[in-house]
Chains A and B, each alone.
Chain A
């Protein structure tokens, strides 16, 4: 990541295009936070590229004063991979919705994560297809009633984090559209992580799926239903931080400190950097019902990145062979013969 000393403000990353999302859409908040996060990050607009697929959230690149592409449905990860591999000096963000990223683009998503290309994938999860006006998505809950599932869906959803871990991902973070500070915090962490980083932002579709995350985002309820994980800190939640997560056999359990003999010493300390993903996965799978939904950086483990390894291999092989150009390579590696007097000897 090429940062500069120059100070940026959010306006440096805003384009002149007027934003056309529905009033009240969660995307507005995420866009504003992204402008702020980019200013804080210190990477110049010309060193930044924002790549999206198709869907409501995928309009986002038009609102950025950076390099960007609004591409085709599902393919943002593949296009971002090509861009980053060609130009490791660019900081590349990918914007995808749950349909774009996990249905039509599911294959590219898991392979971008597996390959560990250094792109920052922002996954706007509203559990619905908005731009096509209200069909269920691969993250819609079982039984969700939508225009294409009038009697409820008969299939299980993906949990994005589970896909990331299944694809051996090394960075996963989560936020909620209204949690502006958390969203900025995880965006910055994602950008600073070397490798594929996935940030799931639970986002409200005010038209077709209004309130789908409200038990996690309402002021009165969110403290009981979510836990903000912070590196090196105890896993505490609740209005008074009176509750904590403890180990319970192979699983996790939410307990009240001081009740049933549980003390603060029993509460787990978060470590996003431990290579084993067993506990990360358990934390990421908490859904806000039995156990609180985890927001913040859940996993952040250093690992070799694809584009840097490609670059290093190119340099190593070039150095070893030391060919000047194509002709030199052909003459050095192919069986050749010479016709006529003036030509080069074999």
Chain B
């Protein structure tokens, strides 16, 4: 096989040895491994990564994936700004896509340069050496013609593979045009990865065969290329052992790989099936929430009406119209869109209509960092409306939890006649993991709070309430239940418009208490980690995987911490404050400057809440949380520590 640069077989072999011979062990099996695929947006890195993670999941591995893509749709080829990454973590006890990669696949010098910082010390790199041409190096802003030396990469850690040459050679008789040939380069990388992880090519080929069932020629070409990649690894590094990733027993069932946005859409469909209410979505395209609209638009095949409206406001307002009409009504958006929807959501609060608002959080304020993740919309969700305007706020913990929490948002909205804001974020919305397709009986029935005939006969008024202060839903078309709702205050008895001050105060209190009583209808807060520790690590929403793993690592190292994660934000679980009060130290880790910590502090007067914060548009790294917690346990009584990312406030 031709090698163009200084990389030789033995150097590649050395890299493998290093990877496999982990400190203190010489087994060929790893608990989990993180691979980061990087290249131009059009290089098909996500597809290669997805196929590999799905094949691994099919063999019993847990998986977590995360795409990291630029805001530009197609930045100039080979440029630094055009690089997108796709990270997969497979193995046992996988809760995050991994802090750093064991293996980095870089399809060009720009990808190598921008993604090197995500590689573990001692990790290895697979790179297409054919792209080390002067023009490519210039585009990627290299000063010399030797990227490996310039970036200070240990030559023993990098496998320089002439991917383009191999690819052209493999497909020279295929009759494909050069552009189509180049599209198969991701499969060559996939073949190499399969070899490296001792993964049989056959299961990958089965997936591909299904994917290209209608295009056998495309399948044949891709299969040939994958085999060529595998053979290249095998032939040039045959003396080296390859290694396997561990798997573990998971709950029996049928599994698929799902990202958070798709899971959100599916959770809503499940809620529609369980409530008997048809699903309506009013939405407007916005990154990173648009895939919810895409998925539900496809689901006309399940009777879903997903309407792309003229703006964010029309998105929420059309949903309010559909809600009044008796549908499970939803609007999906991201932070800037939530701001535009505020007045509409206030109307749903005042008219007491069921409404699900999905906010896939991204970096803000304003347009901010549209493709990056953050948890900075919490205060907006809780308080971003005029007047006393309480509503239910939930947050999903992981890509697959988006399904459960979307279902929960719909359940609470319908059974408690209130708008519910579900916070997800770019990280879990785009990230994916293996998910057991739920059986019919896995989720409970949702019981709409309809007005019934006997109540109508007794002189029903639109704002009559049950013992939970929930009003009844009178669906248009029902004879004898004609009624008007609106944004004006109404009389507590007659439901007619009222501007009486005393009456208004009563209604304000009722609306607040109605939301507070939802606490009786949600699960209590669970404590994981070491419940008997003095310190509890607290998080909410999409940081679950990182916090869980950090707590696990801390306890394994002998730093005792309990861990609690919030998915129900308003109201808080009934036992939440009591649970937190048991701990001498409460540390809230979140991807903002302390919004949930402030919220908890408000509910825990006199208590001190310590904080670990990050606002870089990227998820936490487990390491950052571990170090942050340690800095508090090490006697640091607050203020800014040496890394600058933790601080605490005295109440």
Contacts and interface: CB of A to CB of B under 8 A. Distances in A.
Contacts of B314: 75, 78, 81, 107-108, 111
B282 interface: yes
A175 to B, nearest CB: 25
B317 interface: yes
B162 interface: no
Contacts of B485: 68-70
Contact of B256 (A62, A80, A310, A335): A335
Contact of B321 (A51, A54, A327, A341): A51
Contact of B253 (A69, A70, A329, A338): A338
B26 interface: no
A70 B488 contact: yes
A51 B257 CA distance: 43
Nearest to A16: B496
Nearest to B50: A335
Contacts of A45: 482
A70 B351 CA distance: 10
Interface stretch (A85-93, A182-190, A248-256, A273-281): A85-93
B307 A85 contact: yes
Task: Please classify how large the interface on chain A is, using the bins under 10, 10 to 19, 20 to 34, 35 or more.
Answer: 35 or more
Given A61-B486, A79-B318, A72 B207 contact: no
Interface stretch (A132-140, A289-297, A312-320): A312-320
A78 B318 contact: yes
Task: Please classify how large the interface on chain B is, using the bins under 10, 10 to 19, 20 to 34, 35 or more.
Answer: 35 or more
Contact of B257 (A61, A66, A335): A335
Tell me the dominant secondary structure on chain B's binding face. mixed
A327 B481 CA distance: 36
Interface in B286-337: 299-305, 307, 309-311, 313-314, 317-327, 329
B222 to A, nearest CB: 16
Nearest to B301: A321
Contact of A314 (B300, B320, B481): B300
A334 B310 contact: no
A90 B325 contact: yes
A222 B585 CA distance: 81
Interface of B: 54, 57-58, 60, 207, 210-211, 250-258, 266, 269-270, 273, 278, 280, 282, 299-305, 307, 309-311, 313-314, 317-327, 329, 343-344, 346-347, 351, 437-440, 476-488, 496-497
Interface of A: 15, 17, 44-47, 49, 51, 54, 61-62, 64-72, 75, 78-87, 89-90, 107-108, 111, 310, 313-314, 317-318, 320-321, 323, 325-327, 329-331, 334-344, 346
27 contacts: A46-B478, A46-B481, A46-B482, A47-B476, A47-B477, A68-B483, A69-B351, A72-B487, A78-B314, A81-B309, A81-B321, A82-B307, A82-B329, A85-B307, A86-B325, A87-B325, A87-B326, A90-B477, A317-B300, A318-B300, A327-B437, A331-B437, A335-B210, A336-B437, A338-B255, A343-B252, A346-B254
Given A46-B477, A326-B269, 8 more contacts: A71-B487, A75-B313, A78-B321, A81-B321, A82-B318, A326-B266, A327-B437, A338-B253
